[in-house]
Structure 1
């Protein structure tokens, strides 16, 4: 699915906007703080039920308002089928999601309709940041290509929360403790199996990409506990330590993608430019695997890409992403810097954002 129309009301500093977006490429430009990234956030809410910048609702609702409402018409680019989707986040009443005029049961229904991947400034800290950021990239892929993953991941998170609650209360054994531990193992083993299955494919894709870019990187997957223990055996071996710290220290919630080179850890050895190139290749490989698995392409957003890469890298990235995405949204301070790098025959719309007001420009 791609977006055909985007309606925004009382979202951050945007009071009202009704945009007819381009099915191929959209450039959104404006000064820092103008609201251009808020457009991508609005799409993120319609795709995931949450922003890629904040998990809280309060910052998303325009100051002085009690709720924000977002609406879009999604179009299947193959069949032309149109599906209206909408989401309201109310400061007191919570979140309401509508898909095709019916209430949705969960945000996962949105995510399956609109596979949306954002590459923003935070993406370039993936190598230096915590494991959750690298895990998030892998899990985005597995969620969109493996139907069993979401239920297993939710089951593991629920069981883990209950196990940790018992540890904090000093309940360190017994029937209830064993039940939640067994649930952790059951769901955690499936989560790990699916992650490893798709990691292997991602790894093979990346080896070629990194080699083409002149980067020598060894990528490996850490399950979240010490090899060669099973998850059940890890829980047994580290039980005493978990009791002392009142939390579960090993499991799929600690999984990681490890990036190393001959000289050591990529995070410690590579230059900032090399890290950016390596991460972009990682995103491109994820998109490639998504396409192979689904015979379809995602919607991709690039937030302030020119601020992160030199001209040659921008041109290369745009060329590949335009090929691998159904629809692209690009935010920038300087629109000319992006427009001059786009193919002359591309379908394109340009939007200017100033103080939360969005206007479409003729090109």
Structure 2
């Protein structure tokens, strides 16, 4: 169990909500525009300090209010915590843990790991190398304590170099100094990513695929392997001339042309990258497998409870595929918040667990449903 209570004030069309979510599965149903997705968005905002729907944080505040606040009571590492985040119209925000203001967002994110599945997730993930890199970095952030600092060091060096390249400033000697540090930082990041993919994620994914039934929906996934494709210097840089050649290239394009920010996660079968060749149904199934694999990894390696947000459980898939997705979600061991138009989602989950809460969402108001009446 992770989240026990949720309190939301002034988030989009939600004025005030206070609910107990002390079950493994929490189902929120209601018409489109009722506020279901806004609730999931508020929890994502608490974990990441950003929305998954917009880059403009000010638009998250209810038009009739001056601020928003999201808070949860949660259990992590066998301890109870209260985590909250607010935001006012000036853009000022505060993150508080057990009454104390936190100076770093990462302190809250480590305590409240959240992953998200939306109808758009599949297209974004398989269409964007950046989304696939972010997926890997999320897992590494929670299972490798050193990774955040290593990634931050690389980003700082890359940002400084890009400023020099775009402004056409900085002599060769200065750029050479920055590139030496950038290459070393890139190698460390790539080492952790490569090890994460081959030694952790691939193993977890293979074990999950083995639990699936062998049919047309999953047979291709059984033979897929993960490949971390990198664009970084191979081996040791023998001389400054190797670096200078790279600098000449980057000057032409006015940005760093190698490193972790150019890497990608591929899905390979017999040496062929299948990333863009999977059917839509296969892509969705693979995405669910990857999300569940990450959740299981964080639980097994870091011993952390996780929250999995599922906005609009796929309705266009056939009954067998939908049931397989439900079983995968339950295998994750995560607490699940799931939305849908109909309350029957709760009955589907009840086939796999008795730990289900149901809430009706209407005009930004969220009310618990009586489970005995729903599932007599």
Q: TM-score, normalised by structure 1?
A: 0.90
1:330, distance to aligned residue in structure 2 (A) = 0.8
Task: Show the 5 A alignment for 1:331-350.
Answer: 331-343=339-351, 345-350=353-358
Q: Distance in 1 between matches of 2:249 and 2:282?
A: 39
Q: Indicate whether 1:2 and 2:7 are aligned.
A: no
Q: Residue 334 of structure 1 aligns to a residue in which SS? A: coil
Distance in 1 between residues matched to 2:193 and 2:353, nearest whole Å: 39
1:167-217 per-position Cα deviation (integer Å, ceiling 9, x unaligned): 111124355434432332232222111111111121233244446531232
Note the C-alpha offset of 1:302: 1.2
Match of 1:114 among 112, 115, 121: 112
How far apart in 1 are the matches of 2:241 and 2:203? 30
**1:359 corresponds to:** 367
Structure 2, unaligned runs of 5 or more: 213-217, 372-376
- The answer on whether the counterparts of 1:28 and 1:351 sit within 8 Å (CA) in structure 2 is yes
Q: Alpha-carbon deviation of 1:136?
A: 1.3
What are the superposed Cα offsets for residues 6-37 of structure 1, whole Å, 9 maximum, x if unpaired?
Answer: 11111111111111112311001112222101
Moved more, 217-226 or 93-102: 217-226
Worse-matched range after superposition: 89-98 or 169-178 = 169-178
In structure 1, what is the Cα distance between the partners aligned to 2:87 and 2:233?
41
Distance 1:234 1:360 in 2: 64
Q: Which residue of 2 aligns with 1:14?
A: 14
SS of the residue corresponding to residue 340 of structure 1 reads: helix
Match of 2:97 in 1: 99
The aligned residue for residue 255 of structure 2 is: 247
The structural deviation recorded for 1:312 is 1.9
After TM superposition, the score normalised by the length of structure 2 is: 0.87
SS of the residue 1:250 aligns to: coil
* Residue 91 of structure 1, CA deviation: 2.7
What is aligned with 1:237?
245
Give how far 1:292 is off. 2.1
1:194 aligns with 2:192: yes
Secondary structure, counterpart of 1:351 in structure 2: strand
> Which secondary structure state, in structure 1, belongs to the residue aligned with residue 219 of structure 2?
coil
In the alignment of these two chains, the number of paired residues is 361
* SS at 2:51 equivalent: coil
For structure 1, the residue ranges without an aligned partner over 5 or more in a row are none
Which residue is 2:219 aligned to? 214
Structure 1 residues 324 and 246, CA, compared in 2 at 3 Å: closer, same or farther?
same
Following superposition, the deviation at residue 295 of structure 1 comes to: 3.1
CA distance in 1, matches of 2:201, 2:48: 23
- Cα distance between partner residues in 1 of 2:242 and 2:319: 48
- 1:184 is aligned to 182
